[in-house]
Structure 1
Amino acid sequence: MTNLKYQHIFFDLDRTLWDFNKNSEASLNLLFRDYQLQSIFGSFLFFKSRYEYHNGKLWNAYYQNRIKKEDLMYRRFYLTLKEAGLDDLDLAKEIANDFIEISPLQTATFPNAHQILEYLKNKGYQLYIITNGFIEVQAKKLKNSKLDSYFLEVITSEDAGANKPTQQIFEYAFNRAGAFAKNSIMIGDDLSTDIAGAKKVKMDQIYFNPHKINHKDEPTFEINNLSEIKRIL
């Protein structure tokens, strides 16, 4: 280990290893079918677009400590239904509970996710997850997609009492891992949370940009496919 510049590698989970968009769409499709929501929304695409709109706004509110976790989980469905003309809190909560059950069962990962984790583990790197997702959901995602065996620790914002990009969650992660910024690197898809947060604690970063989005940030490294990590680590 002493000859490695980086000894501790912190991965984001959603949209970095676990294909959040693909798995979320699969879960929403099941709910759309099971709850016969076509009669309310007309099309799955409309239902999905309105859910994603409300979900995004509520996650931003959660990050700013304006709503609680429990409220986020059901309100995203309540507001989606209400916008389509169905004001039914009980139904929204039922759908929300099903979504929390169904979503972590989906197993789509990004191309080369397992291969690169195997490669890094065999090279002697210490691997960790650092996520803003909820602990009970993230643990199931990791287990069901067979990613859990690669990681020594799964650090969540709930554990740390703070979300990425705050310094608090990264310092908490360092303490849990016995790591320091100088011998660690962060790999994630989000410039405003993963990359900005790592920069705050002076930790190097690998920005995972599979859709080749244009930006003006300057991460330490940038990749479009997880396999490219091999040229860095």
Structure 2
Amino acid sequence: MAAEEVTFDQVATAASGLQDAGEAVTLDAVRAALDADGVQATAGTVYKHLADWRAAHVPAPAAPAAELPPALLAGLADWARQFAHEAGAADREALARAGDDMQSLIDAGDELEAARAELSGQVAAASAERDEMLAQLADRDETIERLTAELSNAKQVAMDALVGKAKDQLAIEGKDAQLADLRAQIERNVTAAAALSDARLAAEMELVGAATARDSLAAELRDVRAQLDVLRNRR
């Protein structure tokens, strides 16, 4: 879940709650309190608001009252050492808290850097995979284009072959029809010639004589048959 922009009031509420509970008001403690309330924020934003809160709510260390102890001479040295220790305690505590906060910021920065490095590696891997897929798609497109051209050529060749075959078939059928017409015409001519020869033979037999007419008719019939044979051979 992405960290949201936490407000100063939210940080102040968490810090005041820790202070009222007598707990140390550190960056990690404030972030934990915010997280318990369902608020997630970056360490830098919390640190900025926490510094503002400390400036307003953490009083400057007050110097202890410079009252002489009853046993002035006997305990002066011990009192001076104790005074110095107490005077620097608040500063040491504030310095320790600041050091803890700084370490928390450093740790958060390290985590962000590690996450950034991991994300960069994922992006690089995704880019390499994308480039590889693009190269494969380009190869496939080239193959598809080549196969499409080959298929188109094959279809054209097949179409030309079918057209040629159809033309040949039509030519053959046309020749068969012409031969059938020619055969029918020859048969009609033969029939007509035979009828004409018969009529002519009868007339000539009556006029000239049966023998002459028969010889002439036989000769004509041989000629017609010879022509029929020639036509049949040509067919």
Higher strand share: 1
Higher helix share: 2
TM-score, normalising length: structure 1: 0.24
TM-score, normalising length: structure 2: 0.24
